[in-house]
Chain A
Amino acid sequence: MFQWWYTRGWRLYLQHFVDQLKNAVDFFSVGLLVRHLFAPFRQISAGQVVSSDLSVKFSAFLDRLFSRVIGTIVRLFLLVIGTVVIILRAIFGALVAVLWPLAPLLIVICLFCALIQVRF
Chain B
Amino acid sequence: MDTNFIKTPAEHSEHSASRDNTFDYNSLRAREARAAKVLQLGAVKFLLGLGIVLSVVGAIYLLFFQHNPLGWLVAALAIFLVMIFVWNTCEIARVPAGSTENINDLLSANVLRTLDRQPTPQSIVNGLYQTRSGRFLALRFGISPERLAHIARELNSDVAPIFSKAREIWRKVDGETVSGGMLMIALIESHPQHEMILRRMKLELADLYTGITWYNHLHGLVKSARRHRRTGGIARDLNFGYIPTLQRFGTNISEQCASAAESQIRLAAHHEIVDKVISIFSSRGRQNVVLIGPNGSGRSTIVDAVASTLMDADAPIPSSLKYQQVFMLNAASLISAASGPGAMETLMMHILNEAYAAKNIIICLDNAQLFFESGIGSVDISNLLLPILEAGRLRMILIMNEQKFLEISASNSTLANAMNKIKVPAADRNETLKILQDQAPLLESKYGVICTFWSLTESYRLGERYIHDIAMPGRALKLLETACHYPDQGFITAESVQQAIEKTQGVKMQTGAAERTQLLHMEELIHQRMIDQTAAVKTVSDALRRAAVGVRDDKKPIGTFLFLGPTGVGKTELAKAISEVYFNGENHIVRVDLNEYVTAGDVARLIADGAENSESLTARVLKQPFCVVLLDEIEKAHPQVLTTLLQMLDEGILRDINNNEVSFRDAIIIATSNAGADRIREYVTSGMDLAGMKQEFINALIGAGEFKPEFLNRFDEICFFQPLSKSDLLKVVDLMLASVNKTLASRKITVVLDEDAKVLLVERGYDPQMGARPMRRIVQQTVENLLAKLMLAGAVDDGATVHVTRAMLEDQLG
Partners in one complex: yes
Interface residues of A (CB under 8 A from B): 1, 4-5, 8-9, 12-13, 16, 19, 22-23, 26-30, 32-33, 36, 39, 41-44, 46-47, 71, 74-75, 78, 103-104, 106-107, 110-111, 113-114, 117-118
Residue of B nearest to A5 (CB): B83
A74 to B235, CA, bound (A): 10
Residue of A nearest to B313 (CB): A26
Beyond A23-B230, A44-B241, A113-B72, whether A103 also contacts B236 by CB under 8 A is no
A36, B90: Cβ atoms closer than 8 Å: no
Residue of B nearest to A19 (CB): B228
A26 to B86, CA, bound (A): 27
CB-CB under 8 A from A36, the residues of chain B are 238-239
A110, B76: Cβ atoms closer than 8 Å: yes
B69, A32: Cβ atoms closer than 8 Å: no
Residue of A nearest to B59 (CB): A110
CB-CB under 8 A from A22, the residues of chain B are 230
Residue of A nearest to B82 (CB): A103
Counting CB contacts under 8 A, is B242 at the interface?
A: yes
Closest 8 pairs between A and B when the two form their complex, measured CB to CB: A43-B241, A117-B69, A114-B72, A29-B233, A29-B235, A110-B76, A26-B230, A113-B72
CB-CB under 8 A from B236, the residues of chain A are 29, 32
Counting CB contacts under 8 A, is B724 at the interface?
A: no
Closest CB of chain B to A85's CB: distance in Å? Answer: 11
CB-CB under 8 A from A47, the residues of chain B are 357
CB-CB under 8 A from B72, the residues of chain A are 110-111, 113-114, 117
Counting CB contacts under 8 A, is B611 at the interface?
A: no
A44 to B313, CA, bound (A): 25
A103 to B242, CA, bound (A): 52
Residue of A nearest to B83 (CB): A103
Residue of A nearest to B353 (CB): A47
Beyond A103-B79, A114-B72, whether A26 also contacts B232 by CB under 8 A is yes
Beyond A29-B235, A42-B240, whether A9 also contacts B91 by CB under 8 A is yes
B73-100: which residues lie under 8 A (CB-CB) from chain A?
73, 75-76, 79-80, 82-83, 86-87, 90-91
A29, B240: Cβ atoms closer than 8 Å: no
Cβ-neighbour of B69 out of A26, A33, A41, A118 (below 8 A): A118
Residue of B nearest to A24 (CB): B233
B80, A107: Cβ atoms closer than 8 Å: yes
Counting CB contacts under 8 A, is B50 at the interface?
A: no
B79, A110: Cβ atoms closer than 8 Å: yes
CB-CB under 8 A from B232, the residues of chain A are 26, 29, 32
A117 to B72, CA, bound (A): 9
B54-83 near A? 1/0 per residue, CB < 8 Å: 000000000000000111110110011011
Closest CB of chain A to B81's CB: distance in Å? Answer: 11
Beyond A26-B313, A42-B242, A110-B73, whether A33 also contacts B230 by CB under 8 A is no
Counting CB contacts under 8 A, is B234 at the interface?
A: yes
Counting CB contacts under 8 A, is B358 at the interface?
A: yes
Residue of B nearest to A111 (CB): B76
Residue of A nearest to B230 (CB): A26
A3 to B336, CA, bound (A): 70
Beyond A8-B91, A32-B233, whether A39 also contacts B239 by CB under 8 A is yes
Counting CB contacts under 8 A, is B359 at the interface?
A: yes
Cβ-neighbour of A9 out of B69, B86, B313 (below 8 A): B86
B90, A32: Cβ atoms closer than 8 Å: no
A41, B76: Cβ atoms closer than 8 Å: no
A114 to B76, CA, bound (A): 10
Residue of B nearest to A78 (CB): B235
CB-CB under 8 A from B240, the residues of chain A are 42-43
Residue of A nearest to B76 (CB): A110
22 A–B contacts from the bound complex (CB under 8 Å): A5-B83, A9-B86, A9-B91, A19-B228, A23-B230, A26-B231, A26-B232, A26-B313, A27-B234, A28-B233, A28-B234, A32-B236, A32-B238, A42-B239, A43-B241, A75-B238, A78-B235, A106-B79, A107-B76, A107-B79, A107-B80, A110-B76
A23, B228: Cβ atoms closer than 8 Å: yes
Cβ-neighbour of A110 out of B75, B82, B358 (below 8 A): B75
A5 to B359, CA, bound (A): 50
A22 to B313, CA, bound (A): 11
Cβ-neighbour of B238 out of A23, A27, A74, A114 (below 8 A): A74
A23 to B323, CA, bound (A): 16
CB-CB under 8 A from B313, the residues of chain A are 26
CB-CB under 8 A from A32, the residues of chain B are 232-233, 235-236, 238-239, 323
CB-CB under 8 A from B359, the residues of chain A are 43
Residue of B nearest to A2 (CB): B83
Closest CB of chain A to B36's CB: distance in Å? Answer: 13
Residue of B nearest to A74 (CB): B238
CB-CB under 8 A from A42, the residues of chain B are 237-242
Residue of A nearest to B84 (CB): A1
A111, B241: Cβ atoms closer than 8 Å: no
Instruction: Please name 5 further chain A to chain B contacts, defined as beta carbons within 8 Å, in addition to the given A1-B87, A78-B234, sorted by A numbering.
Output: A13-B90, A32-B323, A33-B235, A110-B76, A111-B76
Residue of A nearest to B75 (CB): A110
A33 to B239, CA, bound (A): 9
CB-CB under 8 A from A16, the residues of chain B are 90
A52 to B62, CA, bound (A): 82
CB-CB under 8 A from B86, the residues of chain A are 9
CB-CB under 8 A from A23, the residues of chain B are 228, 230
Closest CB of chain A to B61's CB: distance in Å? Answer: 15
CB-CB under 8 A from A1, the residues of chain B are 83, 87
